[in-house]
Amino acid sequence: MASQVNPPRGMRDFLPAEKAQRERVLGSIRATYRAHGFDEIETPVMEDSSRLHAGLGGDNEKLAFGVLKRGLTTDDLHAATEALDLADLGLRFDLTVPLARFYASHQAELPSVFRAIQIAPVWRAERPQKGRYRQFVQCDIDIIGDASTVAELELITATSATLSALGIDGCSIRINDRRLLTSMLTAFGFPQHEHPAVLITVDKLDKLGNDGVITELRDRAFPAGPVDALAAFFARPQTMELLPFGERAIRKALPEGVDEQAVADLVGIGESVDADTRALMVFDPFLVRGMGYYTGTIFEVAHPEFGYSLGGGGRYDGMIGRFLGNDVPAVGFSLGFERIVDLVSTSSTTEDAVALLHDDDVDPATLLALKSGLIAQGRRVRLERKARNMKVLLGQLAASGFQTVATVKPDSALDSLEFRTLE
């Protein structure tokens, strides 16, 4: 019996046409990010295990792939009390933790406000399902060193422009602030030490609904008074009412006593973006974002065709200080490429690509000379031996982006080739 030759579960191979489409989409994303003033960097696929498990990555830390230490002995295996004792490195589960380490390593070589692009694969030990893989590409832009809301404005504008450049319609950018969430919980009466655990349940609102969230909070034995207050707040007609992004919508969706600076910052963001971007923005008072490192504004890209986000991010002012010793303001926005690429219409290549069809009687030197001459003209060229079933061959060429062919004879010269376009 033949052995299985599929890629590892949750990981994929890409055929040439698929790879070409992915590269076209990545090229558009890169070009838009660069047009907005960001510079691309690259970091290793692995980081120190202790750094990946420093309590900054939320539940994603539990999904990190570890790399075993070299030279482990039987005694080491017996002495280990948990799996992490055996690993000194791990595959990155996102691009934010590596960026924080990168900045701490290279701060002296970087501008005071650094705008970074990272487009690279990450790995998580997910349970594979539609739209969720164990290896996937993230497209991140981050601004480090700017504590003002100008950084958020740049990120939201660049992300909106990227979605537009890709021709993706119908998206919304949901926005909230972690300061509003925590001050809201305080207003309802939840003790501060319980906020992280409460937010884990509130983050399930899309899946469980209002009643499901309240039931889970009661089942987890949170104090009845605060849970009742949250239930009453959910019951207000205006709590979940979506209004055009602005001060009225924000204040209408919040209880009394929330963080006024956070409200002012969100209002300022809404007033500063252009009309097209503002039309995409929605204030979501219960947007949480699961990462534990967020400290302020948070965002998420939603699309009506999907029950999950297409991207997200937020402000994480405390993370770099963990590595550097002093806090540095930082905020980032990430697009989930695997979900984005499925929404982009397949487009044919605009390359000037030609396939040279030949029989075995054509001298190899002639073939290479013709190929080199066409490449020198700026064309993409492929040599193809004629096949018994030319229809199949021509279909494969078209799928690979070759829309023009020429037949090569033993006496063919560059200026005598006759080109024809594939139907």
Provide the residue-wise pLDDT of the chain in tens; the chain has 423 residues. Answer: 556 788 989 999 999 888 989 999 999 999 999 999 999 999 999 998 888 887 766 677 888 888 888 887 787 777 777 777 788 898 999 999 999 999 999 999 999 999 999 999 999 988 887 778 999 999 999 999 999 999 999 999 999 999 999 999 889 999 999 999 999 999 999 999 899 889 889 988 888 988 999 999 999 989 899 999 999 988 887 666 666 777 888 888 888 889 999 999 999 999 999 888 988 999 988 898 876 788 999 999 998 887 778 999 999 998 888 888 888 999 999 999 998 998 887 665 567 899 999 999 999 999 999 999 999 999 999 999 998 899 999 988 888 888 899 999 999 999 999 999 987
Tell me how many degrees the CA angle 117-123-201 measures, rounded to the nearest 5: 95
Contact between 66 and 48 under an 8 Å Cβ cutoff? The reply is no
Contact between 266 and 250 under an 8 Å Cβ cutoff? The reply is yes
pTM for the structure as a whole = 0.87
Task: Report the distance separating Cα 140 and Cα 337, nearest Å.
Answer: 10
Q: What is the pLDDT of residue 318?
A: 85
Q: What is the pLDDT of residue 242?
A: 62
Contacts of 271-277 with C-beta under 8 Å, sequence gap 24+, read: 271/246, 272/149, 272/153, 273/153, 273/156, 273/157, 273/160, 274/157, 276/160, 276/164, 277/156, 277/157, 277/160, 277/173
Nearest to 277 by CA among 180, 117, 154, 166: 154
Tell me how many degrees the CA angle 55-105-33 measures, rounded to the nearest 5: 85
Residue with tokens 């063919």: 412
Phi first, then psi: give them for residue 398, nearest 5 degrees.
-60, -40
Which residues, in sequence order, are CB contacts of 378 under 8 Å at separation 6+?
352
Contact between 98 and 56 under an 8 Å Cβ cutoff? The reply is no
Task: Report the distance separating Cα 332 and Cα 39, nearest Å.
Answer: 14
Per the DSSP assignment, residues forming a β-bridge with 40 are 117
> DSSP string of 305-321?
T-SS-SEEEEE-TTHHH
Query: Encoding tokens for residue 158?
Result: 């660049």
- Mind listing the domains of the chain with CATH numbers? 1-167+303-342 (3.30.930.10), 172-297 (3.30.930.10), 353-421 (3.40.50.800)
Nearest to 103 by CA among 95, 94, 114: 114
Contact between 252 and 182 under an 8 Å Cβ cutoff? The reply is no
Task: Report the distance separating Cα 44 and Cα 23, nearest Å.
Answer: 21
The stretches of 36-84 forming alpha helices (DSSP H) are: 49-52, 74-79
Which residues, in sequence order, are CB contacts of 363 under 8 Å at separation 6+?
410
Task: Report the distance separating Cα 414 and Cα 417, nearest Å.
Answer: 6
Contact between 141 and 33 under an 8 Å Cβ cutoff? The reply is yes
Tell me the residue length of the chain. 423
Q: What is the pLDDT of residue 319?
A: 87
